[in-house]
C-alpha cells in the first residue's frame, strides 16, 4: 500500500501481515510537541513505514524519517540546519507488555485499547528523540568569535583566607 497522505492511526498488526509500505510527507508544523524545539517549523519530512513480521512472529514497523530541520545553535544562538536521517524498528505493545522481554531488538510503541497507533504521536516521539540535546555549529562555522588566547590577569598577592585564623590560634596557644 503506497500512500501520499499521513494516516491518523494505523493497525501495525494488520499492516504487518501483508508487509505493507507507506510513504508520505509531513509538515513539521503539524507536530505540536515538536514546535517548541524548533525555531522554524516550516520544513517537511519524508516518512517511510515498512511493516512486517520477524522470525519470532512479532509484528513491527520500520520508521524512516528524512529531511532537514532548523535548530538553534546553543553557542551563537543563530539558526542552523540539521540533516535528519533515521531508521527505528518499533514493536507494538500494550501497556501491560511495555517492560516485557518479548520486544526483542526493537523499541516498544504503545498501542491503544483498539490496537491502533497514533501516527502523529509516533512521529513526534521519534523526531524528539533524534534531535540533539544541545545543537551547535562546528566551531569554525559558528558566528561567535573567539580570541586566540585569553589575557592573563595579574593580581596582587591576596591574603590567604585562613591566615587570620592561624593568628588567633597562635594567640590562644600562648
pLDDT band, residue 1 (cuts 50/70/90): very low
Quote the number of domains for the chain. 1
Q: Which three cell numbers, joined as nine digits, stand for 72?
A: 538553534
Closest-CA residue to 49 (of 84, 82, 2, 17): 2
In a domain, 162, yes or no: no
What average pLDDT does the chain have? 84
Stretch (H or E) spanning 21: strand 21-27
pLDDT in tens, 29-61: 999 999 888 888 899 999 999 999 998 888 999
In a domain, 167, yes or no: no
Three-state SS at 76: coil
In a domain, 44, yes or no: yes
In a domain, 116, yes or no: yes
| Spatial distance between the Cα atoms of 163 and 26, rounded to a whole number of angstroms | 68
In a domain, 76, yes or no: yes
In a domain, 20, yes or no: yes
Q: pTM value?
A: 0.74
Three-state SS at 134: coil
pLDDT in tens, 53-111: 998 888 999 999 999 999 999 888 889 999 999 999 999 988 776 665 656 678 888 88
For 83, the domain range is 9-141
In a domain, 154, yes or no: no
pLDDT in tens, 109-165: 888 888 899 999 999 999 999 999 999 988 888 877 656 666 666 555 555 667 777
Residues sharing a CB contact under 8 Å with residue 144, sequence separation 6 or more, in sequence order: 75, 76
In a domain, 171, yes or no: no
Neighbours of 61 (CB within 10 A): 23
Amino acid at each position: 500500500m503506497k500512500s501520499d497522505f499521513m494516516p491518523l492511526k494505523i493497525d501495525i498488526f494488520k499492516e504487518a501481515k501483508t508487509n505493507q509500505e507507506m510513504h508520505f510527507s509531513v509538515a513539521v508544523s503539524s507536530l505540536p510537541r515538536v514546535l517548541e524545539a524548533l525555531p522554524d517549523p516550516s520544513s517537511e519530512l519524508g516518512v517511510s513505514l515498512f511493516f512486517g513480521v520477524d522470525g519470532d512472529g512479532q509484528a513491527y514497523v520500520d520508521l524512516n524519517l528524512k529531511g532537514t530541520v532548523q535548530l538553534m545553535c546553543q553557542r551563537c544562538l543563530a539558526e542552523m540546519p540539521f540533516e535528519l536521517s533515521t531508521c527505528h524498528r518499533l514493536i507494538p505493545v500494550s501497556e501491560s507488555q511495555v517492560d516485557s522481554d518479548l520486544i526483542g531488538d526493537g523499541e516498544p510503541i504503545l498501542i491503544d485499547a483498539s490496537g491502533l497507533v497514533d501516527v502523529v504521536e509516533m512521529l513526534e516521539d521519534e523526531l524528539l528523540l533524534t534531535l540533539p540535546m544541545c545543537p551547535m555549529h562546528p566551531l569554525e562555522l559558528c558566528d561567535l568569535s573567539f580570541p586566540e588566547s585569553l589575557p592573563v590577569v595579574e593580581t596582587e598577592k591576596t591574603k590567604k583566607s585562613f591566615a587570620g585564623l592561624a593568628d588567633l590560634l597562635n594567640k590562644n596557644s600562648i
